Structure 1
Amino acid sequence: MNVSNPALPDSIPQPILASADSLVTKTAFLAGLIAPETAACLSRQLKVSDAEYSRIIDGHDTDLEMLEDATNLASTQSTLGEITVLRRRLIAALAHHYHLVQTQPLSEGNGAVARLIVHMHFAQIGLHPQLWSLSRGIARRQEEYHAALGITGGTQERQLAGGFQRTDKASLTFIEFMLDVCHEEVDYMTAALNRRKLCEAVTNAFNTNSRLIEAGIRAEIAPAFLVLLIQGALPRSEFKTFTGLQPDNAKDQLNRLIDVGVVVSSPSDLLTISVALPNWFVRDILPDLHKSW
């Protein structure tokens, strides 16, 4: 797959530039909401959901070997050139996605490859794409996505007779659509990780989740877990204090949390615990993350 970058459109409308600027600000704010340990857990779950959404978008599974090859190729050959202005680099990444899907046959799984490469571009730019899902947003609006690419009925139709020729108008239409999708997904994750909403979600999970209930985990320690979720890691002693329970009961509840997998304790640091987000628990606190259409 050729991963060289196309030129930017000759003239970029001000609303698109403003949207790109706003996205940079929003993603920085989102990253500030999450501790590194929690972010790492969330990133692993987003990879799982991205695979699900990729099947929805493309209508088939993508060869993992192909994705690995694309990752290696993109990391060595795909750059954003001499573009230094952040918002223009973002727009160039989306223009590159459009170019790749337009010039490569989708039957070979290049839709997923193109999304992987734009994800890598976003990481280079500093948009923290591991904390929100572009694939989720595209899957929610897949008909619009395919229309913006000139794809109908599962096949790709060239916009101009005689093969693909990039037009600034078509490229800008696609870029504007993709920026809108990005904003929606960043807004979704930002709202989901809002302290009030997160508190409601965690409290509800500790009151209703069958695994937690069957494990004998008390609903009243939800606030202590919420602190751990926000902080990412805590000394064991602090977590026990946050539970408000007597020492023996606090120790018992912590052990139960570790047993069900929502808290982890490293053998190399037995004095500290970290948050864990197994798939079944994420589906409780972020119920729309894996939603299909």
Structure 2
Amino acid sequence: MTELWLRPIIPSSIPESTLVRADELVRNTAFLAGMVAPETAACLSELLKFTDAHYSRLIDGSPSEPEILEREFVLEHHQSTFADIPELRRRIVAVLCQHYQLLHRRTLRNGIGAFARALTFEYFALLGLHPQLWSLSRGLGRRLDEYQSATGMNDPMQTDGFEGAQQLIGREQLAFIDFMLGVCHEEVDYVTTALNRRRLRESVTRAYKTNSRLKDSGIRPETMPALLALLLQGALPRSEFLTFTGLPYEAVDDQINRLIKLGIVMSPQSNLHRLEIGLRAWIALDLLPNFH
């Protein structure tokens, strides 16, 4: 799909309200990245790959392999695309313009949606929007009718290639940019809200009361504060984990082994005195309602 790369045509006049929302996206994604510990972020990123695949199938209408882009390709075209766009917020708009115009490129239409989403993800990462911590595909899948309508994905093929894309500058493209920014904000807000301290405490407490895997595995309620601390901090010394539980050493050691067996706590071989969070999809559904 790399031959379908398209240098975006950017509107000569972008509403200030659109640029403000792009600025807010930079701030909000930076806040999200700052509130999630690196170990928790790594787990979340792995879980989101499965979520992206689920919603990609929904968007594309059939099972599809994730589009994998060569890093050199993305970097090369990133530099040529944004060299003359100094403002970060205008670069974000340019990425969304490219997404829109790629979907209107009628030649070799099959797979273009997956390519456009993958390219948008890579560009967002290069622009520092931390897309590995939230799911654009989830947002688009949940608003699929609007996405298809905004991009004309269900329209008969009428235009072709770059010349066709040139005809798209106008109200429709600006509406699409605002739609996409809205989706991005919704998804960032969803993860930010789910992972704030108060909500996490509520979610972990509820999981300990209702999750059958925790109950059936003999996980004791006293470990709940320790697991919450591990989620928030990403990693803890075993001794500190013990302190959070208030249990005797032997009991804590048994509980840690049970949590490790469940896969929600990990003990790195390189440092057996350290514990790290190890999220699994079954408990992520307790922490992130309607995850997929």
TM-score by length of 2: 0.92
Deviation (angstroms), 1:101 = 1.2
CA gap of 1:258–1:275, structure 2 versus 1, over 3 A, is same
Deviation (angstroms), 1:70 = 6.2
Distance in 2 between residues matched to 1:38 and 1:10, nearest whole Å: 41
Distance in 1 between residues matched to 2:176 and 2:267, nearest whole Å: 46
Contact 1:71/1:116 (<8 A) preserved: no
Contact 1:262/1:278 (<8 A) preserved: yes
Q: Which residue of 1 aligns with 2:10?
A: 8
Q: Which residue of 2 aligns with 1:132?
A: 134
Deviation (angstroms), 1:72 = 5.9
Contact 2:208/2:214 (<8 A) preserved: yes
**One-letter identity of the residue aligned with 2:177:** I
Q: Deviations over 1:71-128 (max 9, x none)?
A: 6633443444212211011111111111111115575211011001001110011011
Q: Which residue of 2 aligns with 1:81?
A: 82
Distance in 2 between residues matched to 1:186 and 1:57, nearest whole Å: 20
Q: Which residue of 2 aligns with 1:273?
A: 275
SS in 1 for 2:236: strand
Distance in 2 between residues matched to 1:205 and 1:246, nearest whole Å: 23
Contact 1:63/1:109 (<8 A) preserved: no
TM-score by length of 1: 0.91
Q: 1:175-194, aligned counterparts within 5 Å? A: 175-194=177-196
Distance in 2 between residues matched to 1:102 and 1:172, nearest whole Å: 14
SS in 2 for 1:28: helix
Q: 1:256-267, aligned counterparts within 5 Å? A: 256-267=258-269
Deviation (angstroms), 1:5 = 2.0
Q: Any unmatched runs of 5+ in structure 1?
A: none
Q: Which residue of 2 aligns with 1:35?
A: 37
**One-letter identity of the residue aligned with 1:84:** P
Q: Which residue of 1 aligns with 2:240?
A: 238
Deviation (angstroms), 1:252 = 1.1
Distance in 2 between residues matched to 1:147 and 1:158, nearest whole Å: 17
Contact 2:8/2:95 (<8 A) preserved: no
Contact 2:208/2:221 (<8 A) preserved: yes
CA gap of 1:7–1:244, structure 2 versus 1, over 3 A, is same
Which of 96, 99, 119 aligns to 1:97? It is 99
Distance in 2 between residues matched to 1:238 and 1:35, nearest whole Å: 17
**One-letter identity of the residue aligned with 1:174:** F
Q: Deviations over 1:228-274 (max 9, x none)?
A: 00000011111111111111111111111111110001111111110
Contact 1:3/1:74 (<8 A) preserved: no
Q: Establish whether residue 59 from structure 1 lines up as the match of residue 61 from structure 2.
A: yes
Contact 1:106/1:156 (<8 A) preserved: no
Q: Which residue of 1 aligns with 2:68?
A: 68
Q: 1:151-190, aligned counterparts within 5 Å? A: 151-152=153-154, 158=159, 163-164=164-165, 165-190=167-192
Q: Which moved more, 1:108-117 or 1:75-84?
A: 75-84
Q: Which residue of 1 aligns with 2:27?
A: 25
Contact 1:150/1:157 (<8 A) preserved: no
**One-letter identity of the residue aligned with 1:244:** G
Contact 1:104/1:110 (<8 A) preserved: no
Q: Which moved more, 1:4-13 or 1:41-50?
A: 4-13
Deviation (angstroms), 1:287 = 2.4
Q: Which residue of 1 aligns with 2:217?
A: 215
Percent identity of the aligned residues? 50
**Aligned-residue CA RMSD in angstroms?**
1.9
